Amino acid sequence: MHTDTIIYPYFNRTLLDTRSMTNKAVTCITIGCNGIICEILIYNYVLSDANRQTIEGYLANKWLSKNKLPVDHPYYSPT
């Protein structure tokens, strides 16, 4: 059974340092920094940039914050 893997944490659409994950215990991850966390999504596979942007667009629509996405994001909307 394979128990070691790598996770790819993103914060505000930016890839942070990758982290090792052994036996499903994540090491050295801090969540929160004087802000509000609405959702945390965890996938058991690496998302492509296109998949990640689709999910970001869905969440931005859900939380009525498409205008807070970067202007060059495919799901950005000023309204």
Give the model confidence (pLDDT) of 26-68 as tens digits: 555 566 666 666 778 888 888 888 999 999 999 999 989 899 9
Residue 26, C-beta contacts closer than 8 angstroms, at least 6 positions apart: 7, 19
pLDDT of 21: 53
When pLDDT is cut at 50, 70 and 90, the band that residue 2 belongs to is: very low
Q: 53 in a domain, yes or no? A: yes
Does residue 17 have a pLDDT over 50? Answer: yes
Q: 52 in a domain, yes or no? A: yes
Q: Which domain holds residue 49?
A: 4-68
Q: 32 in a domain, yes or no? A: yes
**Could you tell me the pTM of the whole model?**
0.62
Q: 58 in a domain, yes or no? A: yes
Q: 75 in a domain, yes or no? A: no
Q: 74 in a domain, yes or no? A: no
C-alpha to C-alpha distances, 41 to 33, 38, 55, 62, 78, nearest whole angstrom: 17, 10, 10, 14, 25
Indicate the number of domains in the chain. 1
Rounded to an integer, the average pLDDT of 17-26 is 55
Residue 31, C-beta contacts closer than 8 angstroms, at least 6 positions apart: 37, 40
